[in-house]
Structure 1
C-alpha cells in the first residue's frame, strides 16, 4: 500500500535525523502537563462521586452526565481541534485550550448545583479537546529521530494512560483532606505553569492547509455522538421507550451520514484512507475497547471499594496505586516489549492480559476482595500500558508530520469515546442488573442513594443494605463478564488482522 511505502521512507529519514537536545526534552515535560490533566479529569471523579452526590443531590441521570459529558465532548471535538491546530498553529491552540480548561475547572470547583457542574464539565471537555491532539502532534514535529520519537511517545502515553489510572488516587487523597471541589481546583496551578513556560520551550508548528474547513463534518459528528449516547443511558436508567429509541436511531443515522460525507468531501476531518492500513485500524480498535474497559470498570470498582467494602476514600485510592504504577512503567517500556516479541504479539498479548484482569473482577465478593482486586487490576494495568503506547506510536507514524495532528486526534477520539462508552454502557448494564436484583425491595437508582435511604431504618435498613450490596456486586460481575468477552473477541480479531505481512506503519525501536 502507498501508506506503507511512505512510512518506510519516513523511517529511514527519522533514523538518520539529528538527536533531540536538552531544550526539546524540557519541551516534552511541558507537553505532558496538559496530557496529565485531561486524562486525569476523566477518572478523578470516580471516588468523588459519593461526596458530590451528597452535596449537590444529582439525579441518577445527572450523576452519569457529570461523569460522561466531559468525555463525550472531548471525543466529539478531538478530530475537529486536531484539524484546527494543523491550520492555525498547534502551540497556539494548545495554550488557548489550556486557558479554557483552567477557567472551566474553577467553575466546576465551586459549582452550586448539578446543572452548573455538568455545564462546567462540558466546557472542560471543549478545552481538553484542544490539548491532546496538539501535544502529541507537536511531539511528531519536535522529535525527528526515530529512537527519540519512540521514547517521547512512550512517555506521553505513560502520562496519558497513567493519568487516567492515577486520577482516582489523586481524587482520593484530595477528598481525604479537602472538599470535593478540590479535584477540579488542582488543575488551575498546572494550567498557569503551562501558560507561562509553554511559549518558551514549545515551538510553534502549523501544516498550512489552504482547503476549506469541514464545518458540516463537525456538525454531523457532534450531532451523532451525543444523541446516541443519551439514548443508551436513558434506556438503561429509565427503561425502553419509543421516543428514546428514535433519538438513538437518529444519532446513529447522523454518524453514518458523517462517515459518508468524510468519504466524499475533498477536505475531510477524518481521513478514512488511514483505515486501509490494518495496523492502524487494529490500533484504534484497541484504543476504543481498552479505554472502554478501563473507564467502565474503574468507575464500578471505585464504588465497590467505598460503598460495598466500606473503605474510606484514601484507602480506596491507595488500593489503585499498583495498577497506576503498572500502566506507567509498561507504557514507557512498550517499545522494548514490541521489539522483543513483535508488534502483533505485543498488541494481542496486551489485550489478553487486560481480559484476564477484567475476568478477575468476577472473584470480588461482598465481604472481601481487596487483594484480588489489587492483583487483577495490576495485571490489567500491564496490558493497558503496552497497548496504549503502541497505539500512539503506530498512529503518529502512519502519516507525515504535517498531518500528525489530524491522525493523532483519531486515536485520541477512540481513547476518549471508549472511556465515555465504558461509563455509559458498562455503568448502565451494571445499573440494570442492580435494579433488577431488588427482589421487591425499595432500591433507589444507585447504590449510594439506596444506602442513604437505608440509614436509620433499623433492622429493615440492614436487610436493605445487604441486598443492595449483593445486587451491585452482581451488576459489576455482569459488566466485567461482558468486558472480558469483548476483549477476548478483539484479541482473536487482532491475531488475524495483524498477521505476518501486515507491517506496522512504524517499526518500534527500543528506547
Structure 2
C-alpha cells in the first residue's frame, strides 16, 4: 500500500474517537443523572464543556502544530486524550467528570488540526487531497452519527464509564502507529502560539454560560449570577477590542464585515444548535418518558444522524445549479417544517412519522452546514481562507455547546412551569423535582411510598411532554424567521 494512503488510514483511526466523543454522551444523560446524582446544570456542563473548550482551543492548537509539527501535536493530543478518557471513566462524581471532559477537549483540540495538517502535507496532489478531505469529513459525520449508538450499546451492557474506556486501546494503537508510520515533521520556530488569548476567550465564554444556566434556577444568588455574567461580558468585550486592533489577531473579526460570510456563520451555529439540542431532548424523552433502553434510544435516533451525512453531498450538488441563496433558504426552511412536525408527533404512537421528520431534519441540517461552508469560504479573500476556516470551525463547536445550553434551559424552564407536584411530596424534594425530569426521577427514587413515587414520575413525564411540544414549536418559529432573514440577505448567486 502507498505510504500516504497508510497515513490516511491512521488519520481516520485517530480522528474517529474524537468525533464519536462529541455525541456519545447524548444517550447517557438519564444514566448519569441516576448513577452520579447529577443535577440539570451538571449534566449540561458534562455534555457541552467538550465543545466549548474545543471552540476556544482549535486556533492556538493549529498554530502549535505549525510550530512543532503535526506529528508531535498528534502524539501529545493522543496522550492527553487517553489520560482524560481513563480519568472520565473512573470519575467518582459529576464535578470530576466535567473536569476530565474539559481535558478530553484539550486533547481533541490538538488531534483535530493535526489530522487536517497531516492530510494537507501528505497529499500534495490537489485531486488526491480533495478525496482525502472528503474521507476525513465523512468519518466526522459517521463518528457523530454512531456516537449515540455506541453509547447506547455500552450503557446497556456495561457501566457508564465504558463509553470512555473504549478510547484507551484505540489511543494506544494510534500512538504506536503514529511513531512508526508518520515521518518526522519540520518545525517552524517563528510561528506564534497565542494560548493566552485562547484562555481569555474560554474564560469569558464559560462565565457567560455559567451565568445563563444559573440565572434560571431559583436556588441561585441573583447577585452572584449577574456579577459572574457581567465580568464574563467585560472580558469578552476587551478580548474582541484587542483582537480588532492587533497586528496578528487570533480571530480575524474583520471578516465579519463581509455579509455573506457572517450569514454563513449564523447558519453554521444555528444548524449545530438545532441538531445537538434536539438530540439532547430526544435522548431524555425516549428513555425517561417512553422507557427505551439506551441502545434502543440510540437506534431510534440513528435516522437523524445518517440523514445529516447525506445532506452535505446533496447540497454540494445543488449549490452550483441553483445558487447558494435558494439552497440555504430551503435547508433552513425544511428544518423549520421538521421541527413543527416533530413538535406534534408522538414518537411511540407514530414512529414512522417521527423517523420521516428526523430524516427531513437531518437532510436539511446537512444542507445548511454545507451552505454555510460555501458562504464562508467563497466570500472570504483568498489570503484569509485559513482564518475563515478557523472561524467556521469555532462556529460549529460554539453551536454544539450553545445547543445544549439553549435547549437544556428551555426544557428546564417549561418543565418547571408545567409539573404538577403531588401534595404529599416533602418540600425539599418538591423543589428538586421542579428543576428537570432527571431530578424529578432522583427525587422519586428517594421516596419510600411507591404509589407517591409513581405519581411524581407520571407528573414529570407529562410535564416533559409539554416541554417537548413548546421547545420544538419555538424552534420551528425561530427557524421560520431565520429562513426569511437568509432569503433577504444572501445574494441570488454565489
TM-score for the superposition, normalised by structure 1: 0.85
Instruction: Determine the structure 2 residue equivalent to 1:302.
Output: 283
1:140–1:480 CA distance, 2 compared to 1 (3 A): farther
Q: Which moved more, 1:384-393 or 1:56-65?
A: 384-393
Query: By how many angstroms is 1:344 displaced?
Result: 3.4
The separation in 1 between residues aligned to 2:66 and 2:56, in whole angstroms, is: 17
Is structure 2 residue 476 aligned with structure 1 residue 484? Answer: yes
Counterpart position of 1:135: 115
Is the contact made by 2:260 and 2:490 (CA closer than 8 Å) also made in structure 1? yes
Which stretch has the larger CA shift, 347-356 or 463-472? 347-356
How many Å separate the matches in 1 of 2:4 and 2:240? 37
Q: Please show how residues 38-437 of structure 1 align to structure 2 within 5 Å.
A: 38-143=18-123, 147-198=127-178, 208=188, 210=190, 212-238=192-218, 241-365=222-346, 368-392=349-373, 406-437=387-418
The separation in 2 between residues aligned to 1:272 and 1:209, in whole angstroms, is 26
Displacement of 1:257: 1.6
Structure 2 residue 466 is matched with structure 1 residue 496: no
Report the equivalent of 1:4: none
Change (3 A) 1:496 1:149: farther
Q: Secondary structure at the match of 1:320?
A: helix
**Which 5+ residue runs of structure 1 have no aligned equivalent?**
1-20, 504-511
Picking from 448, 452, 462, the partner of 2:454 is 462
Q: Which moved more, 1:81-90 or 1:200-209?
A: 200-209
Is the alpha carbon distance of 1:474 and 1:433 closer, same or farther for their aligned partners in structure 2, counting shifts above 3 Å? Answer: same
Q: For 2:333 and 2:407, locate their aligned partners in 1 and report how far apart those are by CA, in whole Å.
A: 19
Tell me by how many angstroms 1:240 deviates: 7.0
- Cα displacement (A) at 1:156: 2.7
CA contact (8 A) 1:133 1:405 kept: no
2: CA distance, partners of 1:223 / 1:481: 33
- Cα deviation, 1:228-263, whole Å, max 9, x if unaligned, reads 010111112346713202211221222222111111
TM-score for the superposition, normalised by structure 2: 0.87
| Partner residue in 2 for 1:474 | 466
Per-residue deviation at 1:444?
4.7
- Aligned pairs, number: 482
Contact 2:67 2:191 in 1 (8 A): no
1:126-178 C-alpha deviation (Å, 9 max, x unpaired): 11112223333444444555554544444333332332332111100111221
Greater Cα offset, 39-48 or 209-218 = 209-218
Q: Distance in 1 between matches of 2:286 and 2:119?
A: 38
| CA RMSD in angstroms, aligned pairs only | 3.0
Over 3 Å counting, the alpha-carbon distance change for 1:344 and 1:45 in structure 2 is same
Shifted more, 452-461 versus 257-266: the winner is 452-461
1:96 shift after superposition: 1.5
CA distance in 2, matches of 1:340, 1:204: 44
Counterpart-to-counterpart distance in 1, 2:188 and 2:254: 21
Q: Which stretch of the first structure deviates more once superposed, 205-214 or 155-164?
A: 205-214
Mean Cα deviation higher: 53-62 or 136-145: 136-145
Give the distance between the partners of 2:211 and 2:186, measured in 1 at CA. 38
Cα distance in 2 for residues equivalent to 1:66 and 1:263: 33
Query: Relative to structure 1, is the Cα distance of residues 51 and 481 closer, same or farther in structure 2, using a 3 angstrom cutoff?
Result: same
Q: Does residue 445 in structure 1 map to residue 426 in structure 2?
A: no
Structure 1 CA distance, aligned partners of 2:255 and 2:172?
37
> How far is the alpha carbon of 1:324 from its aligned partner?
2.3
CA–CA distance in 2 between the matches of 1:356 and 1:416?
Answer: 25
Q: Is the 8 A contact 1:137 1:404 kept in 2?
A: no
Secondary structure (helix, strand or coil) at the match of 1:43 reads coil
Cα-to-partner distance string for 1:185-234 (whole Å, 9 max, x where unaligned): 11122223332334566567779483654455224312211100101111
